[in-house]
Amino acid sequence: MDYVVRGTAADGYIRAFAASTRDLTEEARSIHKTSPVVTAAMGRLLTAGCMMGIMLKGEGDLLTLTIRGDGPLQGITVTADAKGRVKGFPYQPEVWIDPRPDGKLNVGGAVGRGTLTVVRDQGLKEPYSSQVELVSGEIGEDLTNYFAVSEQVPSSVGLGVLVDRDQSVKEAGGFIVQLMPGVSDEVITALENNLKELHSVTQLLENGLTPEQILEKILRGLRPEILETMPAKYHCNCSRERVGKVLLSIGARELQSLIDEGKPAELNCNFCGKSYSFSVEEMKEILAAARQQG
Ligand SMILES: [Zn+2]
């Protein structure tokens, strides 16, 4: 079962998260029927979403991570809440691209150059939104850069997905380690040395390390402490109402022309693929309600 652990070290000057996300990445793969490189990209962003969701303060807060690139994958959107629930979709689920020279799936090549946007929706207030240029499209590095540039929090983000020969997800997971203001140079050096010794996240996953063990390794010698363990899962909360809004977003004129055709409209939820059918009567109601709201 997937979960996220939240920990701390060096008397609170380090905060850290680690996650195992095999099951939810596999679920995303089976919903979206992704090719291996897209599975890896999706899994990495979903894993980051799980951990960054836990950073949200309020229960109803929502986090949206959007990557847009000029590569064949085009982009990915992931949303997460504070309870370890994530969902997402790739703009192009099937991308076939040569592996990198080191034999790894070429996520950066599939994503290309572009932007990463982070939106935190805290319900009442205006959503907080921030956008940075992608550094490599490998997602972990892009998030490390996001934290440094947008939040001024020095961080190290490691994300990994192992795809099996039959294209199913063998392992997925990652970590985020962050330095808090006032941290001493000794702590920084010790942490940097630990991170240097670390092989890739993929290697950690291959060796079967749990999120707790990953944190122990990264925070060795820095008095790590696990504060919380939270289950993580792929979860979609779509409803007829929400999908009805999507129907409206195609524009009143298009909706009217669907009504004029006299055929029910079939819409699939982007996140989970669930199909919703809207009768001509229902489409008329949606349109009338929208016109009333102005
Ligand atoms: Zn859905």
Q: What is the pLDDT of residue 263?
A: 85
Find the mean pLDDT for residues 119-146. 93
Find the mean pLDDT for residues 188-211. 92
Ion ligand 1 — residues with CB < 5 Å = 236, 238, 269, 271-272, 274
Query: Measured in angstroms, how far is the CA atom of residue 277 from the centroid of ligand 1?
Result: 14
Query: Residue 151 — pLDDT band, cuts 50, 70, 90?
Result: very high
Could you report the per-residue pLDDT of 231-243, keeping only the tens digit for each? Answer: 999 999 999 888 8
Query: Residue 246 — pLDDT band, cuts 50, 70, 90?
Result: confident
Look at residue 35 and tell me whether its pLDDT is greater than 80.
yes
Q: Mean of the per-residue pLDDT values for the chain? A: 94
Query: Measured in angstroms, how far is the CA atom of residue 88 from the centroid of ligand 1?
Result: 10
How far apart CA 144 and CA 126 sit, in angstroms, is: 25
Query: Measured in angstroms, how far is the CA atom of residue 271 from the centroid of ligand 1?
Result: 5
The answer to whether 75 and 88 have CB atoms below 8 angstroms apart is no
Q: Please give the DSSP secondary-structure letter assigned to residue 178.
A: E
Provide the token pair at 52: 């960054």
Query: Measured in angstroms, how far is the CA atom of residue 73 from the centroid of ligand 1?
Result: 21
Could you report the per-residue pLDDT of 64-88, keeping only the tens digit for each? Answer: 999 999 999 999 999 999 999 999 9
172-181, 268-277, 279-288: which is most confident: 172-181
Could you report the per-residue pLDDT of 83-129, keeping only the tens digit for each? Answer: 999 999 999 999 999 999 988 999 999 999 999 999 999 877 788 89
Query: Measured in angstroms, how far is the CA atom of residue 273 from the centroid of ligand 1?
Result: 6
Look at residue 189 and tell me whether its pLDDT is greater than 70.
yes
Over pLDDT 90: what percentage of the chain? 80
Query: Measured in angstroms, how far is the CA atom of residue 29 from the centroid of ligand 1?
Result: 15
How far apart CA 159 and CA 151 sit, in angstroms, is: 19
Look at residue 288 and tell me whether its pLDDT is greater than 70.
yes
Query: Residue 202 — pLDDT band, cuts 50, 70, 90?
Result: confident
Tokens 């330095």 label which residue? 179
Query: Residue 294 — pLDDT band, cuts 50, 70, 90?
Result: low
Helix/strand/coil percent split, the chain, to 5: 35, 30, 35
How far apart CA 269 and CA 64 sit, in angstroms, is: 17
Pick the closest to residue 110 from 33, 38, 44, 165 (CA basis): 38
Residue partners of 194: CB distance under 8 A and separation at least 6: 217, 218, 219, 220, 221, 222
Query: Residue 287 — pLDDT band, cuts 50, 70, 90?
Result: confident
Query: Measured in angstroms, how far is the CA atom of residue 79 from the centroid of ligand 1?
Result: 12
Look at residue 220 and tell me whether its pLDDT is greater than 70.
yes
Query: How much is the pTM?
Result: 0.93
